[in-house]
């Protein structure tokens, strides 16, 4: 059946926006890309894009297939008892990697970041702007300490789920929480 | 000029062995590959291979373009004052990544491990057998604690040199030693 002349449905519009967002974030970085520019590239107006995706952060999370939105998770993590923050962070992060549904998109992100300069740039900017600065500010520690937490967590899942080094691959989540949470806690203690 | 009939020189023989080693390690893993099998695949005898490369560990390190041989470095690291082990480990590791000559092969290994199951398998086996078990045994800690050290170090260079998160990318080595050495030290303290 010829589809010419048919108005694109919401799913097609959504796909067009996501495709345009991926291109714009890759080419301009997270900081450089704008809702207005992405809307123009997708041939929709900015209000419609906002209706589908909300803010630039939310559009990035959708376009990158993040399994959760850190912007939603962070306030909850940071709100609990400060002395158990390390535990909450490690438990949440390991839990996301434990489920195949969320592990696969994370693995795809990890591969693209190690293989591709553009992907590294946009992830760096998103991570810095949206995650690390918020954590550091909330805890009153220098940003390098929030980055050290991220480095420990990313290295942990890299060896657990990609390289699959036996003691880390075979451990259950709670064993790893007990091992790594004190480190995360110490990085985030002023 | 036709080269038919000429006996291969030492460089060609070396290249043949390295190529055969890469294939065998990829197909059989680090544990499964043997000096005898690699020699047969390269069409040389095992004694000649041994003359060029020494042990299987040394051949692996040469075939993977490791910038240093961990088998040579570990005894030196472990021999110093135990209370400064964390410092020595972090300083050595960061130093290797600081020089482009050694950073490039490390980056290539990191990319191949995240992109390719065979590479992940042989690196896992080499890392477990040759590095982590030695460190854990020498310090009298469970192997998972040596693996936790590796996870912190790999995450650190991933964010410093690949993703280039600003506070980690801009820090000098000694600032990172001060930040991360206590963590490494605590993992390696029984």
Considering the domain delimited by A65-190, tell me its CATH architecture.
Answer: Orthogonal Bundle (1.10)
Q: Do B167 and A142 touch (CB under 8 A)?
A: yes
Residue B38 makes CB contacts below 8 A (sequence gap 6+) with B17, B20, B21, B24, B49, B59
Q: Do B123 and A147 touch (CB under 8 A)?
A: no
Where do the domains of chain B lie? 1-63, 64-190
Confidence of residue B45 (pLDDT cuts 50, 70, 90): very high
Helix, coil or strand: residue A1: coil
The answer to whether residue B182 neighbours chain A at the CB level (below 8 Å) is yes
Of B144, B139, B111, B109, nearest in space to B128 by CA: B144
Residue at token pair 């630039």: A56
pLDDT tens per residue, range A58-76: 999 999 988 888 888 999 9
What is the C-alpha to C-alpha distance for residues B152 and B166, in angstroms, rounded to an integer? Answer: 18
The answer to whether residue A144 neighbours chain B at the CB level (below 8 Å) is yes
Total length of chain B: 190
CATH 1.10.10.60 fits A1-63, yes or no: yes
What is the C-alpha to C-alpha distance for residues B160 and A153, in angstroms, rounded to an integer? Answer: 14
* CB distance A60 to A30 below 8 Å: yes
Q: Which of B147, B171, B179 minimises the CB distance to A165?
A: B147
CATH top-level class of B64-190 = mainly alpha
The answer to whether residue B164 neighbours chain A at the CB level (below 8 Å) is yes
Confidence of residue B6 (pLDDT cuts 50, 70, 90): low
Query: Is A38's pLDDT higher than 80?
Result: yes
Q: Which of B150, B156, B186 minimises the CB distance to A151?
A: B156
Cβ contacts of A159 on chain B, cutoff 8 Å: 147, 150-151, 154
What is the C-alpha to C-alpha distance for residues A26 and B19, in angstroms, rounded to an integer? Answer: 36
% chain A with pLDDT above 90? 81
Interface test with B, best of A159, A164, A176, A185 (most B CBs within 10 A): A159
Nearest residue in A to B167, CA atom: A144
pLDDT of residue B11: 83
* CB distance A21 to A122 below 8 Å: no
Confidence of residue A115 (pLDDT cuts 50, 70, 90): confident
Output the six-digit token pair for B59: 């051949």
Q: Which of A127, A147, A163 minimises the CB distance to B113?
A: A163
pLDDT tens per residue, range B66-119: 888 888 899 999 999 999 999 999 999 999 999 988 899 999 999 999 888 999
Output the six-digit token pair for B90: 């972090």
What is the C-alpha to C-alpha distance for residues B13 and B74, in angstroms, rounded to an integer? Answer: 30
The answer to whether residue A162 neighbours chain B at the CB level (below 8 Å) is yes
**ipTM summary value:** 0.89
Q: Do B147 and A159 touch (CB under 8 A)?
A: yes
Q: Do B165 and A127 touch (CB under 8 A)?
A: yes
């Amino acid at each position: 059946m010829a589809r010419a002349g048919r108005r694109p449905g919401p799913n097609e519009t959504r796909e067009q926006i996501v495709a345009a967002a991926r291109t714009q974030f890759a080419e301009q970085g997270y900081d450089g890309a704008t809702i207005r520019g992405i809307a123009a590239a997708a041939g929709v107006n900015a209000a419609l894009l906002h209706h589908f995706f909300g803010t630039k952060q939310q559009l990035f999370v959708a376009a990158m297939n993040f399994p959760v939105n850190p912007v939603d998770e962070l306030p909850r993590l940071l709100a609990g008892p400060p002395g158990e923050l390390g535990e909450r962070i490690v438990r949440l992060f390991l839990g996301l990697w434990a489920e195949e549904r969320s592990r696969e998109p994370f693995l795809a992100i990890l591969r693209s970041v190690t293989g591709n300069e553009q992907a590294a740039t946009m992830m760096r900017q998103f991570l810095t702007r949206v995650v690390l600065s918020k954590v550091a500010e909330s805890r009153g520690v220098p940003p390098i300490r929030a980055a050290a937490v991220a480095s420990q967590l990313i290295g942990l899942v890299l060896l657990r789920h990609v390289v699959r080094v036996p003691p880390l691959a075979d451990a259950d989540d709670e064993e790893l929480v007990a091992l790594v949470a004190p480190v995360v806690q110490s990085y985030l203690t002023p």
